[in-house]
Amino acid sequence: MGKKVGIVAGSISRFDNPRHTLQEEMCAEAVKMILDDVPDLELGDFIKKGYACCYSYFSDILEQQQCMHWIINDYLGLSGVPSYRVESGGATPIDAIVNAALWIRSGMFPVVLVVGWEKMDELPIQKVNEAIAIAGDTDWDFVSGFTYNAFYATMEARRMHVYGETEEDLAEVSVLCHNNSLENPYAQWPAQHGFSKITVEDVYKSRLISWPYRLYECAMTSEGASALLLANEETTKKLTDNPVWISGVGFGSDTMRAGDRPDNPAWKGLYPEDENIWPKHVPKPMSPYPDLQNFGALRVSARMAYKDAGIKDPRKEISFVEIFDPYAGVVLAGLEDFDFCKRGEGKNMLREGIIQRHGELPCQLSGALTAQGHAVGSTSIAQVVDSYWQLSNQIGKKWGAPGRQLNNPKKAFIHGHGGTGCQAGAVVLEV
């Protein structure tokens, strides 16, 4: 069985809060766009041809509905079709894609439709935060008085202490993401705040959430849906003449609680080159990598995906990157954990303009979580869809923004993760 998994089509029903539209309706909007793009695809054929569906949503609590995917499957008219839901916190949508790709590679299914969504507006915002926070350990994390914002903030405070990152670096990441989103018709930031560029000063004016993080440096809470139609090589070629391939997938994990990482014996010695990058002024824990500064799960998932895709030098071979950035500092950490630079040097890639839209390695072209939005179960699927449109030369048409098409990109890397990096997934796309 061939290893190649093709993306036949992708779609997004835009991110906003509130959307008021039901999950199943947003999913139908997304799947309808796929049907428009692939005239030969018939939902009625799924059961006959042995196709499957993989559903992605994070929380049963946000709308007090368990098994929401049964409603979606029903609403799309897919009765009988083999399907199930993948759930792993923030990693849910990337894991759904990885899962679907592995289904296809197993030879079991020629085609898998991935659909992801989230509704986050029903509860008061503090209860939404609570519903997200109980993805942390409810005996040991959540009841410590820490919000999720606070956990990520402690991780960033340590990056500042150990690597010398600054508040300005975080604000610059935020500016990059927001300004990248301004031509994205699926993005929440422009839907709510208009189409003008923001500056570092605007970020500083946004309210402090949990030092060092300010409002514009944190993911939005969003509603939205997205879908991807994946297929094996033969079927992909039948259904589209403009395919993009998922050439590599990976996933990894870490401790539930971030606080258990500095001396975690499971990490010790795994990445000696990273353990050796350590400043003299900070006492070295037993397992210096990842400690709180980096994300071991991201490293494991990325190296697995690179190996799977035959990538030797990610910095040279990857054309652009979408990082799952619930907080601005994760972009900088991610660049390191994904081997685009050495540990502690993520800030240099930012400062040198490398990850800017016109830089050598553009990052967060969609605007990502702080600007495109973060309807959890949809987030990474939408980031993969945006990247697929870039690689298949469709962004001009799909966004209505021809100026945003990169010149001949070859490969993209998209990652997602959940918790404080408790679980992560990654995919490599190529033309």
Partner 1 sequence: MKQPGPEKVLKQLPHDEKCWEEWERKGGWRPEGWKIVEMNDGPTLNDLKPEKFLIVHRPHGSMFHHSYGKVSQFFIGLLEGKLYGTKCSKCGLVYCPPRAHCFNPKCRLVETKWVELPKRGEVHSYTIMAIAWPSMAHLQPLVGVMVRIEGTNTCLPMTMRDIDPEKVNIGLKVNINISKQPKGDLLDVYATPAEEPVAPKRSPEELKRFREDMEKTRAWVKKTFGPK
Q: For partner 1, which stretch binds (CB under 8 A), given 72-80, 95-103, 140-148, 344-352? A: 140-148
Cβ proximity to partner 1, 398 vs 411, nearer residue: 398
Q: Is 344 left (phi over 0), alpha (psi -120 to 50) or beta?
A: left
Cβ proximity to partner 1, 4 vs 158, nearer residue: 158
In this chain, which of 1, 67, 108, 286 binds partner 1, going by CB under 8 A?
Answer: 286
422 contributes a contact to partner 1 by CB under 8 A:
no
Cβ proximity to partner 1, 21 vs 393, nearer residue: 21
262 contributes a contact to partner 1 by CB under 8 A:
yes
Q: How many residues bind partner 1 (CB under 8 A)?
A: 62
Whole-Å CA distances, 286 to 11, 115, 225, 298? 45, 42, 43, 20
Which DSSP helix (H) or strand (E) runs through 70?
helix 68-75
Whether 244 and 4 have beta carbons less than 8 Å apart is answered as no
Q: How far is the CB of 211 from partner 1 (least distance, A)?
A: 4
Cβ proximity to partner 1, 51 vs 213, nearer residue: 213
Whole-Å CA distances, 243 to 78, 100, 365, 391, 393? 25, 17, 20, 9, 10
Q: How far is the CB of 68 from partner 1 (least distance, A)?
A: 16
**Residues 201-220 as x/- pattern, contact with partner 1 by CB under 8 A:** ---x--xxxxxx--------
Whether 340 and 357 have beta carbons less than 8 Å apart is answered as no
Q: How far is the CB of 360 from partner 1 (least distance, A)?
A: 29
**Residues 46-65 as x/- pattern, contact with partner 1 by CB under 8 A:** ------------------x-
Instruction: Quote the CA–CA distance of 277 and 348 in Å, as a whole number.
Output: 15
Q: How far is the CB of 186 from partner 1 (least distance, A)?
A: 6
How many Cβ atoms are within 10 Å of 310's Cβ, its own excluded?
11
How many Cβ atoms are within 10 Å of 257's Cβ, its own excluded?
17
134 contributes a contact to partner 1 by CB under 8 A:
no
257 contributes a contact to partner 1 by CB under 8 A:
yes
Helices (H), 310-408: 314-317, 329-337, 346-351, 368-371, 376-391, 395-399
How many Cβ atoms are within 10 Å of 44's Cβ, its own excluded?
9
Instruction: Quote the CA–CA distance of 249 and 428 in Å, as a whole number.
Output: 6
Instruction: Quote the CA–CA distance of 355 and 294 in Å, as a whole number.
Output: 19
In this chain, which of 126, 196, 199, 276 binds partner 1, going by CB under 8 A?
Answer: 126
Cβ proximity to partner 1, 160 vs 406, nearer residue: 160
Identify each DSSP E strand in 212-358 by its residue range.
213-214, 223-232, 244-253, 320-322
In this chain, which of 93, 110, 116, 190 binds partner 1, going by CB under 8 A?
Answer: 190
Q: For partner 1, which stretch binds (CB under 8 A), given 22-30, 101-109, 242-250, 356-364? A: 22-30
In this chain, which of 117, 146, 320, 324 binds partner 1, going by CB under 8 A?
Answer: 146
* Residues 6+ away with beta carbon under 8 Å from 327: 149, 152, 153, 156, 213, 217, 218, 219
Whether 14 and 184 have beta carbons less than 8 Å apart is answered as no
In this chain, which of 148, 151, 320, 324 binds partner 1, going by CB under 8 A?
Answer: 151
279 contributes a contact to partner 1 by CB under 8 A:
no
Selection from 30, 73, 40, 75 nearest residue 54 by Cα = 73
**Residues 69-108 as x/- pattern, contact with partner 1 by CB under 8 A:** ----------------------------------------
**Residues 30-49 as x/- pattern, contact with partner 1 by CB under 8 A:** x--x----------------
119 contributes a contact to partner 1 by CB under 8 A:
no
Q: Within 13 Å and on the Cβ side, how many CA atoms surround 282?
A: 19
Residues that bind partner 1 (CB under 8 A): 11-14, 18-21, 26, 29-30, 33, 64, 126, 130, 137, 139-141, 143-147, 149-151, 153-155, 157-158, 160-161, 166-167, 185-187, 190-191, 204, 207-212, 257-260, 262-266, 282-283, 286, 292, 400
